Amino acid sequence: MSTDTQFDLWEVFIQSKSGLPYMHAGSVHASDNKMALQNARDIYTRRGEGTSIWVMPSKYIVASNPDDNDMLFDPANDKAYRHPTFYTMPEGAKNI
């Protein structure tokens, strides 16, 4: 048996309630879109964990390289002016 017949790998994202973010739940194997959705539902929502499912073939996920972490994420750490706590408000100021 030389060919891999376990189907492609898909990543599964579940939204537990409308309004909330989609969270990565894990992966499933499937050969087409419908199967991927059904499998995701059967594997990851048996206990009412979700009201919406996204599935995506794993090969289409583009991930950042951990080697680039300092370049990607460190520069954001010294820009305190992006946070509201950076600013001093006059005493007694309301609704701001």
Residue among 63 and 80 whose Cβ is closer to another protein: 63
Residue among 67 and 91 whose Cβ is closer to another protein: 67
Least distance between another protein and beta carbon 35 (Å): 7
Which listed residue (15, 16, 22, 29) binds another protein by CB under 8 A? Answer: 29
Contact indicator for 51, 18 with CB cutoff of 8 Å: yes
Contact indicator for 40, 28 with CB cutoff of 8 Å: yes
Q: In this structure, which amino acid lies at residue 50?
A: G
Residue 78: both structure tokens together: 């010294």
The owner of tokens 């419908």 is 34
Q: Which residues bind another protein (CB under 8 A)?
A: 1, 4-7, 9, 25-35, 38-39, 42-43, 46-47, 63, 65-67
